[in-house]
Structure formats: structure tokens, C-alpha cells
Copies of this chain bind each other. A is one copy, B any other.
Amino acid sequence: MVTSHDVARLAGVSQPTVSRALRDSPNVSAETKERVRRAARSLGYVISDSGRALASGRTRRVGLLVTDLENQFYPYVIAAMHRQLEALDHQLILHTEDRDGENVTERLFSHGLDGVLLATTTSDSALPVRLRDRGVPFVYFNRTSAVEADSATVDAAAGLGEVAGALADRGHRRVAAIFGPRNTSTGEEREEALREALEHHGIGLPRALTHRGPFDVETGHAGMQRFLALAEPPTAVVCSNDVVAIGAVNAAHEAGLAIPEQVSVVGFDDLPPARWPVFSLTTVAYDLTAMAQAAARLLIERIEAGDRPGTYRHEVFPTRLVHRRTLAAAPMS
């Protein structure tokens, strides 16, 4: 393995000069830089991550904390963050939380992360507190908790306001909702926004027309099944996100119900599968990629700025309802 010493020898300079030259330090003459760069290139020198990390105290690695890697939502998030971080010369380390969430922190730090992206924080999680106490920079993605930090989130209220309007316009009165978990800011926020928006159009959400569960396909499936078993099923189902909506569509399909003729379905996120013809999901859209990249960017900036409490940045992404084919007029009853 070729080291900075080898480069130094070839370039006729000292090792520290190599270090400085390659990082484009201002106190290295242009000609020396050039000589060093040539030497490095001709030797095929690549800096040692470990050496740099040990000396600088920065690993240039950040963690992404996610509960379920198989959830259809994350590939897009991971891909976007990965690209952004690569551009900023950082690496993304995936971390799945244990069931108990016990030794997450420990494992987090044993891996020497410069910071953490929290994508599935629950509002009762102790992790943000621990991170703050240990001075580890972190950023919320799509979720927040009581501990303040930089965040990239979505303006759910706007999108769900549109949803409620669209439903009302089309004569829906019996509307059901599948909510996310109570202990997530995303779940709570969307629930509150939807209730309020529907209320505004005089549409209530009785308990029987409400289902709650994790943001996954099974939740949507189970919720829709429950609704369809009702004596008076809803004419529309609003889902906490697209993955849930996919589950709901599946259940309707399984039950032989026509969408949107017999029941309308609305999602949230506008994931690529929402555009697949078999779903063609009417859904609340926003720029998920930009949001993921914003979270990554905020984290790196936070890392480089150092701890500066009270100056948190919250990027909120606008939403809009995308009309496809799962929302239609309420059927005559």
C-alpha cells in the first residue's frame, strides 16, 4: 500500500507537505502542489481513511438510522442521501435499530460516525437526548422529536388540505383514514392535519373509520380489510403514506372491489411505484429526493459548523396533490 510518505519521497518533500498539498492548503506553493499531485497520481496514491480519521478525529462517515430496510420508502431515500453524501465526500452507514433500541448508541459510536441522520425516530425515543448529550450532530429526516435539531420535513397540512378539498368536492362523506403510529411526529402531524382539514369540510372521522399502524404494506392491507367488512364501508380511504396505500389497494383488489369506482384511495409521498399503472395512485407529492439530500446537506453543514445550539434550521418541503386514478366521485349509495 502506497502512503503519503512514498509520495513525499517521490516528490522530494516531507510527508506533512504531501498532506497539505493534497488537501489544497493555502500555505503550499502552487508548484509544490503540482509536483505532489503528480507524484501521487503516478504512484496511484489513495489516502487512508483510517489514518485520516485517526489523525483528524473525523471519519467522514454518517449513519442513517432506519428501522426497516425492506420498507419500500427507504430505497429512494437512501439513494438520494447516498448521492448527496458522495458529492460531499462522505459515506453513508446504514443502521437498523434493534427491537429494544438498546445498544444502538453504543454501536453507533463504536463505528465512529461524525453524525447521524434520524429517519425513523419515535417521539418517545431516548436517542436524540443521548446524541445531544454526547454532542453528536444529528438531523431529523421526515420526523422530529422534542429534542430540537436541524430537520428536513414535509408540509403535510397543505397537501392534506388539498386532499380534504378534493374529497369533499367529489361528494365523499364517509371517509376513512389509516394513520401512522401515535409515537411518530409524522403520524401525529398527518392525523391532526387530516382531521382538521376534513372537519373544515364538515366531514368527521368516527373511530370505526380509523385505523392505525406502522407505515407499511400490512397496515394498509389490514386497515382496508377492516373498512370493507363494515356494514357501511367508506367511499374513500386516506392513507398515511404510499406504502400503506399500496397495501390498501391490494386489499381492495383482493376483495374484488373496483378502485376508484367503489372506493377511492389517496396516498402520501408519491413514490415511484405510485406512478405504476396498476396503482396509479392519487397522492400527496413532494420532492423526496431533494428532501433526503437536504437532510444530508444539513448534517454535513452542522458537522462542519460545530455545535451551535439555538441555530437550528428546518427545511420544510411543499406538497401538492397529484391526481391520478384512485380518486373519483363518491359512488351513489
Report the separation of the CA atoms of residues A74 and B111 in the bound assembly, to the nearest whole angstrom: 24
Q: Do the beta carbons of B59 and A69 come within 8 Å of each other? A: no
- Cβ of A129 under 8 Å from chain B: no
Q: Mark A65-81, 1 if CB is under 8 A from B, else 0.
A: 00001111011101100
How often does this chain occur in the complex, in copies? 2
Residues of B within 8 A of A48 (CB): 54, 112
Q: Mark A39-67, 1 if CB is under 8 A from B, else 0.
A: 00000101111110110000100000000
Report the separation of the CA atoms of residues A291 and B47 in the bound assembly, to the nearest whole angstrom: 34
Q: Do the beta carbons of A253 and B278 come within 8 Å of each other? A: yes
Q: Do the beta carbons of A91 and B111 come within 8 Å of each other? A: yes
- Cβ of A176 under 8 Å from chain B: no
- Cβ of A7 under 8 Å from chain B: no
- Cβ of A263 under 8 Å from chain B: no
The listed residue (B75, B86, B112, B251) touching A50 by CB distance below 8 A is B112
Q: How close is A250's CB to chain B, nearest CB, in angstroms?
A: 4
- Cβ of A217 under 8 Å from chain B: yes
- Cβ of A310 under 8 Å from chain B: no
- Cβ of A272 under 8 Å from chain B: yes
- Cβ of A124 under 8 Å from chain B: no
Residues of B within 8 A of A70 (CB): 75-76, 79, 272
Q: Which 10 A-B pairs have the closest CB atoms?
A: A50-B53, A69-B79, A46-B110, A254-B277, A49-B112, A50-B54, A250-B277, A75-B75, A253-B277, A253-B278
